[in-house]
């Protein structure tokens, strides 16, 4: 399976872990599946959250900003000329079975979305990225669960980015009790004798899906803050 993604660590996470969601031609809303080892929460209970999808413009206004994060954070610009390489996933049939036709730019294939990324100079230029998606709750639930389930089936695999081989290990971890559904995992990317550890946590609240990825400490620090702003009634 080959997909197009950026070669940065966070772009690679988005593409391999959360960007392999293929479009379905079925326009009906799927029913939530049984929770997996990577998911906690109650998929069917949306009685206290809005089920009306938000527009991409509305989502963008709910992203964290430099002012929200505080001193030491700068926005990481998205370069229009960033290099994109073919990525081949090896040793993970579960990911391969999802298909890669919908992968562009490392974002999930939900209709409404917004993204921001930041660099924190106070910890060796660590990065943290936030993604917001909106769709019918059942579609968010099923689409996200499929990908985390696939990751749970592949604790070790390899990706080829251009001519570079990267070993990837994944570990499902317990997510904070936020939102109606939650998923969390640690990913370790190993290449050239160096390891990069990235944490990725997804929270679904009604028709809103929040994903925070990056340095584990920064993800833990800003997850609650990101959800509070994203889910605020406006």
Quick: pLDDT tens for 213-224: 989 999 999 999
Tokens of residue 69, six digits: 């994060």
**What pLDDT, on the 0 to 100 scale, is given for residue 112?**
92
Q: How many helices (H) and strands (E) does the chain have?
A: 6, 11
Supply the pTM of this predicted model. Answer: 0.79
What distance in Å separates the CA atoms of residue 175 and residue 181, rounded to the nearest whole number?
Answer: 9
Cβ neighbours around 100 below 10 Å, total: 22
Between 20 and 196, the higher pLDDT residue: 196
For tokens 């992968």, the residue is 103
For residue 105, pLDDT beyond 70: no
Q: For 39-91, what is each residue's pLDDT tens digit?
A: 666 554 444 556 888 999 999 999 999 999 999 999 988 654 344 556 678 88
Q: Where are the domains of the chain?
A: 2-230
Instruction: Give the closest residue to 114 by CA, choosing from 52, 37, 73, 59.
Output: 59
CATH superfamily name and code, 2-230:
PknH-like extracellular domain (3.40.1000.70)
Listed range (98-102, 136-140, 175-179, 206-210) with the worst mean pLDDT: 98-102
Q: Check the CA dihedral 14-15-17-18 and report its sign.
A: positive
């Amino acid at each position: 399976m080959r997909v197009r993604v950026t070669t940065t660590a966070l772009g690679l996470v988005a593409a391999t872990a959360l960007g392999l969601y293929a479009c379905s031609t079925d326009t009906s809303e799927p029913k939530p599946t049984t929770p997996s080892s990577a998911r906690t929460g109650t998929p069917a209970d949306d009685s206290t959250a809005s089920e009306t999808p938000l527009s991409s413009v509305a989502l963008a206004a709910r992203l964290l900003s430099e002012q929200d994060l505080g001193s030491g954070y700068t926005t990481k610009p998205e370069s229009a000329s960033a290099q994109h390489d073919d990525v081949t996933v090896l040793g993970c049939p579960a990911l391969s079975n999802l298909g890669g036709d919908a992968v562009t730019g490392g974002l999930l294939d939900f209709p409404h979305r917004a993204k921001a990324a930041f660099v924190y100079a106070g910890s060796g230029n660590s990065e943290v990225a936030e993604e917001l998606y909106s769709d019918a709750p059942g579609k968010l639930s099923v689409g996200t669960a499929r990908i985390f389930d696939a990751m749970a089936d592949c604790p070790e695999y390899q990706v080829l980015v251009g001519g570079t081989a990267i070993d990837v290990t994944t570990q499902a971890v317990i997510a904070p009790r936020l939102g109606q559904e939650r998923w969390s995992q640690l990913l370790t990317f190993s290449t050239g004798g160096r390891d990069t550890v990235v944490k990725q946590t997804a929270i679904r609240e009604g028709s809103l899906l929040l994903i925070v990825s990056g340095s584990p400490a920064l993800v833990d620090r800003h997850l609650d803050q990101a959800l509070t702003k994203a889910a605020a009634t406006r």
